[in-house]
Amino acid sequence: MNNFIFLYDTTLRDGSQTEGISYSVFDKVRIARKLDEFGIHYIEGGYPGSNPKDKAFFDEFKKHPLKTAKLVAFGSTRKAGVLPQDDPGLNALVESGVKVATIFGKSWDLHVKDVLKVTLDENLSMIRDSIKYLISQGLEVIYDAEHFFDAFKANQDYALSTLKAAQESGAKLICLCDTNGGTVTSEVAGIIKKVRESVSVKLGIHTHNDCGLAVANSIVAVEAGCVQVQGTINGYGERCGNADLVAMISILKLKLKKDCISDERLPEMTEVSRFVSEISNMKQVDNQPFVGMSAFAHKAGVHINAVLKNPQSYEHIDPALVGNTRRMLISELAGKSPVLMMAKDLNLELKKDSPDAKKVVKTIQDLEHEGYQFEAAEASFELLVKKVLKQYKKFFELEGFRVIVEKRGKSKLCSEATIRLTVGGVHEHTSSEGDGPVNALDSALRKALKGFYPAVSKMRLSDFKVRVLDAKEGTAAKVRVLIQSQDEHDSWTTVGVSENIIEASWQALVDSIEYKLMKDASSPGRTGLPHTK
Residue 432 has pLDDT above 90, yes or no: yes
DSSP 265-288: TGGGHHHHHHHHHHHHT-PPPTT-
**Is residue 533 in some structural domain?**
no
Instruction: Mark which of 371, 388, 405 sits at the end of a domain.
Output: 388
319 and 445 inside one domain? no
Q: State whether 313 and 443 are in the same domain.
A: no
**Domain identity same for 151 and 249:** yes
Domain membership of residue 301 (yes or no) is yes
* Sheet-wide strand order for 491-498: 460-468, 479-486, 491-498
**In this structure, are 240 and 184 located in the same domain?**
yes
CATH number at residue 462: 3.30.160.270
Looking at per-residue confidence, does 165 or 373 come out higher?
165
Reported as a single tens digit per residue, the pLDDT across 304-355 is: 778 778 888 888 999 999 999 877 666 555 556 667 766 776 667 777 777 8
Give the span between the Cα atoms of 269 and 280, in whole angstroms.
17
Q: Amino acid identity of 506?
A: W
Residues 234 and 128 in one domain: yes
Q: Which of 343, 370, 388 is the last residue of a domain?
A: 388
Question: Are residues 183 and 301 part of one domain?
Answer: no
Please report the pLDDT score of residue 1 as a whole number: 52
pLDDT on residue 434: 87
Closest C-alpha to 375, from 320, 318, 294: 294
Do 57 and 195 fall into the same domain?
yes
Q: Is 506 left (phi over 0), alpha (psi -120 to 50) or beta?
A: alpha
Torsion, Cα of 323, 324, 326, 327 (10° steps): 150
Domain that holds residue 480: 397-521
Number of structural domains found in the chain: 3
Whether residue 402 lies inside any domain: the answer is yes
Task: Answer whether residue 284 is part of any domain.
Answer: no
pLDDT per residue as tens digits for the range 190-219: 999 999 999 999 999 999 999 999 999 999
CATH at residue 92: 3.20.20.70
Whether 463 and 360 share a structural domain: no
What's the farthest any 2 CA atoms get from each other in the chain? 84
Domain boundary among 261, 276, 305: 261
Report yes or no on 35 lying in a domain. yes
Query: Do residues 136 and 202 both lie within one domain?
Result: yes
Burial class (CB in 10 A: 0-12, 13-18, 19+), 107: buried
Rounded Cα distance, 199 and 304, in Å: 52
Residue 526 lies in a domain: no
Nearest Cα to Cα of residue 188 among 164, 206, 163: 206
User: 108 and 160 share a domain?
Assistant: yes
pTM of this structure: 0.72
**Residue 171 in this model has a pLDDT that exceeds 50:** yes
> 407 and 304 in one domain?
no
Q: What is the pLDDT of residue 526?
A: 47
Tell me if 375 is assigned to some domain.
Answer: yes
Q: Is residue 275 part of a domain?
A: no
Q: Which amino acid is at 47?
A: Y
Asked if residue 248 has pLDDT above 90, the reply is: yes
Residues 435-468: tens digit of each pLDDT: 888 889 999 999 999 999 998 988 888 888 888 8
Same domain, 153 and 171: yes
Residue at 140: amino acid letter = E
Positive or negative CA dihedral for 509, 515, 521, 523? negative
